[in-house]
């Protein structure tokens, strides 16, 4: 084989290798950053000291990225919690107290949050939901054999939503639920009847409306009294 032909063949091989390496480098350089474990510490509840603020965090697998964390309402961004550089590894964002861009409390509602992490024109977007309210707490447990328990929780005047899930762990069973104000007044009550090993869920709306006046009128510790006949697991999320 002539020397010129051998040189041409070698040059083509070298050029091909360079092209492959260049493509691989470019692909790596312009790949979207990997973002995992994006979450927040807790919902925001303006009337509870333990829930006055929340903190977002995420893990990023790429150095030199830029992050933007937005809270979204029905008409777009209501607050940009962070807009700045991120490091490779775990990132903690500033504490956020539930206030909007205008410096005022956001209304009680469920909000979308959006985290955008960018490098080299490529972005990764992670989304989720966050509840902002005055009051937010959970009541949960398990009662057996004609059991009855009372759970005290702080509430404020106004409406409330109680999202409940009850699971019957035995044969046909029933559960009674009462809510008492600090003065001892019965705010309201509910009754659930189960089939064997049945799970039921729903929402109890406490509000003033025609035929239903179960609004919370007092500020202070309210008692949630729950009783069952046999064996029931219960879980309730209360939001005002």
Domains, the chain, in order of start with CATH, read 35-133 (2.60.40.10), 136-239 (2.60.120.380)
**Residues 6 or more apart whose Cβ sits within 8 Å of residue 149:** 141, 143, 225, 226, 227
Q: Please tell me which residue, 95 or 147, carries the higher pLDDT value.
A: 95
pLDDT at 128 over 70: yes
Determine the pLDDT at residue 29. Answer: 54
* Position 10 confidence tier, pLDDT thresholds 50, 70, 90: low
Confidence (pTM): 0.79
Residue of 187, 185, 188, 177 whose CA lies nearest to 232:
177
Determine the pLDDT at residue 24. Answer: 42
Residue of 226, 207, 44, 202 whose CA lies nearest to 135:
44
Over residues 27-64, the pLDDT tens digits come to 445 689 999 999 999 999 999 999 999 999 999 999 99
Residue of 195, 137, 138 whose CA lies nearest to 167:
195
Q: Please tell me which residue, 34 or 15, carries the higher pLDDT value.
A: 34
* Alpha helix ranges (H) inside 112-160: none
What is the rounded CA–CA span in Å between residue 175 and residue 168?
A: 9
pLDDT at 178 over 50: yes
pLDDT at 78 over 70: yes
Determine the pLDDT at residue 13. Answer: 47
Q: Please tell me which residue, 8 or 127, carries the higher pLDDT value.
A: 127
pLDDT at 20 over 60: no
Please give the full DSSP string across 25-83, using - where no structure is assigned: HHHHHTSPPPEEEEEES--EETT-GGGS-B-EEEEESSSSEEEEEEEEETTEEEEEEEE
What is the rounded CA–CA span in Å between residue 165 and residue 139?
A: 11
């Amino acid at each position: 084989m002539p020397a010129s032909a051998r040189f041409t063949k070698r040059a083509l091989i070298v050029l091909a290798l360079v092209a492959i390496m260049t493509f691989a480098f470019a692909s790596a350089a312009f790949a979207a950053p990997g973002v995992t474990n994006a979450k927040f510490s807790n919902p925001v509840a303006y009337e509870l000291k333990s829930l006055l603020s929340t903190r977002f965090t995420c893990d990023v697998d790429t150095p030199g990225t830029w992050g933007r964390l937005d809270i979204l309402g029905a008409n777009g961004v209501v607050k940009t919690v962070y807009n700045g550089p991120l490091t490779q590894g775990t990132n903690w964002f500033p504490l956020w107290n539930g206030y909007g861009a205008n410096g005022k409390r956001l209304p009680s509602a469920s909000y979308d949050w959006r985290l955008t992490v960018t490098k080299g024109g490529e972005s990764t977007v992670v989304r989720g939901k966050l509840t902002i309210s005055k009051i937010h707490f959970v009541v949960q447990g398990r009662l057996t054999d004609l059991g009855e328990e009372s759970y005290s929780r702080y509430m404020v005047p106004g409406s409330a939503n109680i999202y409940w899930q009850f699971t019957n762990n035995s044969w046909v069973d029933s559960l009674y639920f009462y809510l008492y104000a600090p003065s001892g007044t019965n705010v309201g009550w509910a009754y659930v009847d189960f089939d064997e090993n049945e799970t039921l869920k729903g929402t109890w709306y406490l509000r003033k409306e025609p035929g239903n006046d179960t609004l919370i009128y007092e500020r202070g510790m309210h008692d949630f009294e729950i009783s069952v006949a046999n064996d029931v697991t219960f879980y309730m999320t209360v939001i005002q």
